[in-house]
């Protein structure tokens, strides 16, 4: 009997980063939906508590005090919920956007690091995909060496958008992904949104405008991520995660383990 191991043993180094990304994106999408519904529900809580208090006949002191405490907490929570619902959950989606890009970046980096360190022919494959890269810019001995190599490799592929670079880098190791232009743009936009949110106070600069010219967002314009934006990002991230796990599963580096019947 021949079995294909896909979650442990000899294939773990290859499968794990992509598999973890699929699980993370799925969980993040569920969390986003639950959070949105919870915030909407939070807006109705003060009114329900007011109604309960007004219509509860002869509550005990303990019940009355409990309702009062809940009213105080609900009042504070409702203010935040109202802001989020009014802004189409901009603050919540900002957090999801940052987390989603971090997961993609980590999965790609670890996938590349593992290939660079485990494949003797890695330097040759890297140079073939980026002829301008110099031999001294490629090091494979330690994990830090591999991460430095990835940075040099990515720079050599500029000015391609980051997702286009990732597709080229993964393909160098036989991991071919099929993404539409819109999907690549959505994820390239996601990383630039992340940079604007974390480093520029949510205000687009010329760098964002140049890298994401399809958005028509101008320098100096405030950026928010609404429900429709986050859906595009989640859809593209899901496609990428599914494509990565599919590409890894087809890798010739997958070890086949023969077991006796």
State the pLDDT at residue 121.
95
Element housing 62 (H / E): helix 61-86
Give the integer Cα–Cα distance in Å for 4 and 10.
10
- Residues 6+ positions from 22 with CB-CB distance below 8 Å: 241, 242, 244, 245
| Domain hosting residue 100, numbered range | 2-258
Rounded CA separation 104/121 (Å): 25
Question: Could you tell me where the DSSP H helices lie in 137-225?
Answer: 143-156, 162-171, 181-199, 206-211
- Mean pLDDT in order along the chain per 10 residues (261 residues): 50 93 96 94 90 88 90 88 93 95 97 95 95 91 96 93 92 93 93 93 93 92 93 96 94 76 55
- Residue 67 buriedness (CB in 10 A; 0-12 / 13-18 / 19+): middle
Q: What is the pLDDT of residues 138-172, one digit of tens each?
A: 999 999 999 999 999 999 998 888 899 999 999 99
Looking at the structure of the chain, the number of domains it has is 1
């Amino acid at each position: 009997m021949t079995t294909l191991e896909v979650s442990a043993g000899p294939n773990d180094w290859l499968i794990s980063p992509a598999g973890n990304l699929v699980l993370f994106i799925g969980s993040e999408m569920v969390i986003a939906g639950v959070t949105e519904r919870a915030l909407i529900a939070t807006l109705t809580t003060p009114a329900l508590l007011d109604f309960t208090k007004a219509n509860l006949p002869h509550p005990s002191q303990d019940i009355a005090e409990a309702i009062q405490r809940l009213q105080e907490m609900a009042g504070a929570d409702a203010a935040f919920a109202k802001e989020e619902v009014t802004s189409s959950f901009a603050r919540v989606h900002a957090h999801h956007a940052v987390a989603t890009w971090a997961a993609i970046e980590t999965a790609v980096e670890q996938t590349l690091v593992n290939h660079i360190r485990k494949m003797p022919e890695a330097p040759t494959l890297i140079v073939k995909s980026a002829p301008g890269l110099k031999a001294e810019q490629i090091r494979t001995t330690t994990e830090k060496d591999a991460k430095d190599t990835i940075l040099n490799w990515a720079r050599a592929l500029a000015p391609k958008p980051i997702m286009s670079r990732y597709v080229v880098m993964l393909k160098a190791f036989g991991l071919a992904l099929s993404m539409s232009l819109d999907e690549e743009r959505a994820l390239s936009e996601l990383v630039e949104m992340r940079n604007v949110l974390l480093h520029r106070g949510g205000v687009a600069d010329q760098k964002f405008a140049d890298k994401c010219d399809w958005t028509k967002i101008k320098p100096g314009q405030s950026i928010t991520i609404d429900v429709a934006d986050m859906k595009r990002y989640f859809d593209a991230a899901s496609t990428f995660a599914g494509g990565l796990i599919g590409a890894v599963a087809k890798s010739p580096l997958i070890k086949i383990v023969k077991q006796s019947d």
